[in-house]
Amino acid sequence: MQIIQSIQNRIYEIRGERVMLDRDLAALYETETKALNLAAKRNLKRFPMDFMFQLTKEEFQSLRFQTETLESSNSLRLQNETSKGRGGIRYLPYAFTEQRVAMLSGILNSDKAINMNITIMRAFVEVRKILLRQIDLKGQLKEIKERLGEHDIQLNQLYDAMENLLDEKAAQRKWDDRERMGFKKNSKDK
C-alpha cells in the first residue's frame, strides 16, 4: 500500500489531465528517463498525442514550485537539478496520461515494468476513487446547505411568530396593569 501512496504522490493534474512525469516513471521502472522516452518515441503508433505531451516552461516551473513546497524530501528536486545543462533545463519533461502509462507495459517488456505498471494502474484507480468520494461529499454538503437554508427560513418564521406572541403578551400585561380610571369597586361591594 505504501508503494501505491508513493505513486499517488507522483500523479499531477496538468492541462486538466491526471499525468505522471517521464522522470517519475523512469525511476519507478528503474530505467533512465532518456531510455523511457526513446522507447515511447519509437512506438508512436501506440501513443497518440493526447496520451502524452511535453510540458511548457511555465508548467514545469509551476510544478517544480508546487513539489518543492509540498514535499519535505527533495527527491524530485534533485532529479530536476541533475537534468540541467549549462543554460538551465536540458529538456522539458514529458507528461504521460493514464492511457499512455498503460501502453508502456507493451513496450517495456520486463517483469519489473509489467509489475510496476499494474501497481501504477491501481494508483490511478485509487486517485479516481478519492476524487469520486470528494465529488460525493461536495454533493452532500450542497444538500445540507440547502436544507439548512430551508430550516433557516422556517426558524425565522418561528422566531417572528414567537416575537409576535411575546409582544401581544406584553401588550396584554400593559393593558391589565394600567392605572384604572373611574370608580373602583371594593371587594365588599360584590
**pLDDT per residue over 2-54, tens digit each?**
777 778 888 888 888 888 898 888 888 888 888 888 888 888 777 667 778 88
Phi-psi region of 30 (alpha: psi -120 to 50; beta: other; left: phi over 0): left
Q: Given this model, what pLDDT does residue 70 score?
A: 52
Radius of gyration of the chain (CA): 34
Q: Parallel, antiparallel, or unpaired: how do β-strands 84-85 and 11-14 relate?
A: unpaired
Q: Given this model, what pLDDT does residue 187 score?
A: 63
Assess whether pLDDT exceeds 60 at residue 161: yes
What is the pLDDT averaged over residues 84-104?
72
**Rounded Cα distance, 38 and 60, in Å:** 20
Q: Concatenated DSSP letters for 75-97?
A: HHHHHHHHTEETTEESSPPEEEE
Beta bridge partners of 94: 54
Assess whether pLDDT exceeds 80 at residue 61: yes
What is the pLDDT averaged over residues 58-83?
59
**How sure is the predictor about 87, in pLDDT bands with cuts at 50, 70 and 90?**
very low
Task: Show the cell assigned to 38.
Answer: 526513446
Report CA-CA distances (Å) from 111 to 16, 71, 115, 118: 32, 30, 6, 11
Q: Given this model, what pLDDT does residue 40 score?
A: 82
**pLDDT per residue over 129-150, tens digit each?**
887 788 888 888 888 888 887 7
Query: Higher model confidence: residue 92 or residue 185?
Result: 92
